């Protein structure tokens, strides 16, 4: 690596460190131990098959830590997850985040009779919905649904039922987020179903 490039990389790391201030550096090995109590619901290595519980494997670094903070203080309301996060320190959350973000999720597929529905979702995901000025989902969640760290979550490989439930929660205001509330508010329940199927099957 040239000296100039090394300098640029250090500059970038310093910038990220500043923008992430308040967040601890995570240790994935420590995180694996601390995540043992999550296995019952989120599965081994965060790759579960029960659509009631979100897949955590392969989530963008930073997002899980951020959501655990939100559950703990109650800005994201969920009784189960408040109970799970209340005893976690900032360091625990950073370690757990480092562990799960380094795992990979089993890709999801859809059945032949769902393809048409998913294709309706694809249009909005990739192109937005002009009549209501809804931005293309891929501008934040990525063309293949891989998300953008640390704030924009990965949506590919996630259970469609979970994605649908979260979009409905954003729409109804029971999950609060400045970015997602106005978007989901304008989506119909049919569009939410179509988008959820499509995102889940993205690879
Ligand atoms: C008893 C079951 C249960 C256990 C145990 C559990 N969770 Fe959860 N978790 C859930 C449920 C249900 C949700 C969905 C909450 C919602 O609808 O907002 C969830 C959501 C999450 C989310 C949000 C994911 C996303 O995509 O936004 C994270 C992060 C998370 N859990 C981490 C953990 C961690 C870390 C542990 C262990 C310390 C844990 N959970 C233990 C049930 C559980
Ligand atoms: C301007 C950026 C932006 C756009 C555009 C956007 N999102 Fe999001 N989305 C976010 C952010 C930020 C979050 C995390 C919210 C939080 O922290 O609670 C999120 C969260 C989500 C989640 C919850 C994921 C989880 O694991 O809990 C879903 C589902 C979702 N978005 C779907 C969509 C869909 C569908 C569209 C298009 C109709 C869309 N988003 C457009 C920024 C965006």
Ligand found nearest the CA of 32: 1
Q: Is the CB of 58 under 6 A from ligand 1?
A: no
Q: How far apart are CA 21 and CA 163, in angstroms?
A: 30
Residue 24 pLDDT = 72
Q: How far apart are CA 24 and CA 4, in angstroms?
A: 28
Per residue in 107-157, pLDDT tens? 999 999 999 999 999 999 999 999 999 999 999 999 999 999 999 999 999
Q: Is the CB of 145 under 6 A from ligand 2?
A: no
Per residue in 146-190, pLDDT tens? 999 999 999 999 999 999 999 999 999 999 999 999 999 999 999
Q: Is the CB of 86 under 6 A from ligand 1?
A: no
Residue 148 pLDDT = 98
Where b means 16+ CB within 10 Å and e means fewer, 53-79 reads bbbbbbbbbbbbbbbbbbbbeeebebe
Per residue in 76-92, pLDDT tens? 999 999 999 999 999 99
Ligand 1 geometric centre to CA of 106 (Å): 18
Per residue in 27-38, pLDDT tens? 999 999 999 999
């Amino acid at each position: 690596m040239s000296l100039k490039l090394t300098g640029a990389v250090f500059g970038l790391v310093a910038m990220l460190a500043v923008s992430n201030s308040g967040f601890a550096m995570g240790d994935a090995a420590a995180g694996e131990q601390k995540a043992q109590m999550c296995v019952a619901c989120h599965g081994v290595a965060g790759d579960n098959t029960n659509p009631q519980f979100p897949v955590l494997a392969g989530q963008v670094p930073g997002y899980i830590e951020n959501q655990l903070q939100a559950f703990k203080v109650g800005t994201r309301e969920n009784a189960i997850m408040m109970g799970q996060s209340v005893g976690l320190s900032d360091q625990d959350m950073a370690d757990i985040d480092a562990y799960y973000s380094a795992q990979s999720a089993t890709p999801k597929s859809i059945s032949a009779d769902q393809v048409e529905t998913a294709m309706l979702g694809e249009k909005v995901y990739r192109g937005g919905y002009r009549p209501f000025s809804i931005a293309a989902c891929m501008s934040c969640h990525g063309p293949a649904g891989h998300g953008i760290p640390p704030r924009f979550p990965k949506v590919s490989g996630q259970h469609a039922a979970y994605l649908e439930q979260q979009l409905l929660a954003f729409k109804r205001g029971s999950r609060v987020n400045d970015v997602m509330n106005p978007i989901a508010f304008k989506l119909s329940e049919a569009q939410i179903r179509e988008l959820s199927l499509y995102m889940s099957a993205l690879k």
